[in-house]
Structure 1
Amino acid sequence: MPLLAIALCLAGCGLTVPSDPQGTLDHVRGGVLHAGASASGELVTVDGSEVGGSLAELVEGLAESLDAEVEWTVGSEEDLVDDLETGDIDLAIGGMTDATPWSARVAVTRAYYTIPGARGPVVLLLPLGENAWQAAIEGYLDEEAAP
């Protein structure tokens, strides 16, 4: 009975689970997905301002599914992690794996093993605490690049 009371109180407060304290999913949907890219073989290619590769194609597909445009920022993994922490980008791609040392500073998606060009389990990096955003990304990746 106490759990039911708590659930009813939370439902009445307008809280949804998962949620985004910074509203990342809401500002990306129908707007701009600010994506960071760090070159990594076939996964992420960088030619001037052009970003390509299998991970970049997945990000472009994710953006399309959210009626958003992708705006790329190219940098080192460390620079991209800094950008995630400051809210300058919404996600980062590169050759990051499930053993990434960045997991103490940013959120990490589930590992995906079937992405072309991957030599192991690939993850995307996200801002900490943006749980609805992470759920949307993982839902899309589960359909397009089964874990």
Structure 2
Amino acid sequence: MSGGVATAVAGVFVWLGMVLAISFVEAPLKFRAPGVTLPIGLGIGRLVFRALNAAESVLGLVAIAALALSHPPVAAVVATATAAGALVVQLIAVRPRLTRRSDAVLAGAEVPRSRAHHAYVGLEVIKVLSLVVAGIALLSR
């Protein structure tokens, strides 16, 4: 395995692990912890997801750069690009809507549930599936 492919594998699987751990374990569990109110949970979530998205951006760039410097399978390129595209949509289209809603909740406003959360989770699922496909394609080379 070349250095570029090994770097891409590392980037893809670390990215996958972070998404699974934060989005599908930490996020839902924090609201079940004793003493965590909605405002506290939202405040924690904003910080955690800002950090996650920053780390994902770095890992995505590392994986894409590593793929560009090697001769990866087409499936790995398409899957990584799909995961990166899902992240971009989250950052540009979904996170701002979630931020506006959480700002309103933190300010004490009564706001209806948001479908933006469903969009964010759907994009997380797309990222997870894409990163699994990318990792398998790179390891199957």
TM-score, normalised via structure 1 length: 0.27
- Which structure has more strand as a fraction of its residues? 1
Of structures 1 and 2, the one scoring higher in RCO (CA 8 A, sep 6+) is 2
TM-score, normalised via structure 2 length: 0.27
- Which structure has more helix as a fraction of its residues? 2
